[in-house]
Amino acid sequence: MNKEGLRKLTYGVYIINTINSGCIVNTLTQVTSDRVIVAINKENYTNQMIKKHKKFNATVLTQNTDMKVIQTFGFTSSKDTDKYENFNTEIDNSGIKYIKDHMASLIECEIENEIDLDTHTIFIAKVINTKNLSDEEVMTYDYYHKVKNGVTPPKAPTYEKSKIGYRCPICGYVYEGDTLPDDYICPICGAPASIFEKIE
C-alpha cells in the first residue's frame, strides 16, 4: 500500500499521564464535545496502567517544551523508571501527576470504552475537567519533526521503516546513509555507533 497520503495528516504532541506511568502520543483527538480518543501501543506500560486505573490526563506540549521531556516520555518505559522524578510536577483532581512547565493545557479524562486494534488499543474517554496552563504556542507534530529535529519511535502509530540506513535499537532513531561513522553518537539518546543495527 502507498502510505504517502497519510503523511499529510496533522497532529499535536501530548503526554498521556496515568498512575505511575506516562508517555508521549500524537494520536489524541477530540471526537465529541466532551470525549477524546487516543491510540496506545499494547507494549507501552501506559496502556496497561490505563486499563488498570480507568483514567488518565493529557497535557498539550508547547514549542518551548524541553526535548528532555520528549526523550524521557517518548523513548523510555515507565515500567523501569520514574519518568517524573527530574521534572516539576503537579497532581490533578484524580491524583494523577503531570508536568506543568511549558504545557498549554491539562485535560482530565475517565475511560468510557476501548477498542482492540491488534497492536494498539483505542481508548475512548469522557473529559471531566480541563485547565489552561499557559498561552505558549502549541507544538504540532510537524514542528516537532521540522524545527526540533524529532524522530518517531517504533511503537508510535505513525512510525515508518526507512529503506537505507542504521537504526538505534534504544530509541528507534534512523541514520540515513550507506556508512555509519565509527564515532557517531545517537542525537536522541546518546547510544554509540557500535550498537546501531543496519536496516537490510
Per CB under 6 A, contacts with ligand FMN among 103-142 are: none
Contact between 25 and ligand FMN by CB under 6 A: the answer reads: yes
Site string for ligand FMN, 67-106 (x = CB under 6 A): ---x---xxxxxx---------------------------
Please, are residues 17 and 78 in contact by the beta-carbon 8 Å criterion? no
Instruction: Between 70 and 96, name the residue whose CB sits nearer to ligand FMN.
Output: 70
Q: Which three cell numbers stand for residue 52?
A: 488498570
Measured torsion, CA atoms of residues 122, 127, 130, 136, in degrees rounded to the nearest 10: 30
Query: Which residue has its beta carbon closest to ligand FMN?
Result: 74
Contact between 59 and ligand FMN by CB under 6 A: the answer reads: no
Shortest Cβ distance from residue 178 to ligand FMN (Å)?
26
Instruction: Between 20 and 182, name the residue whose CB sits nearer to ligand FMN.
Output: 20
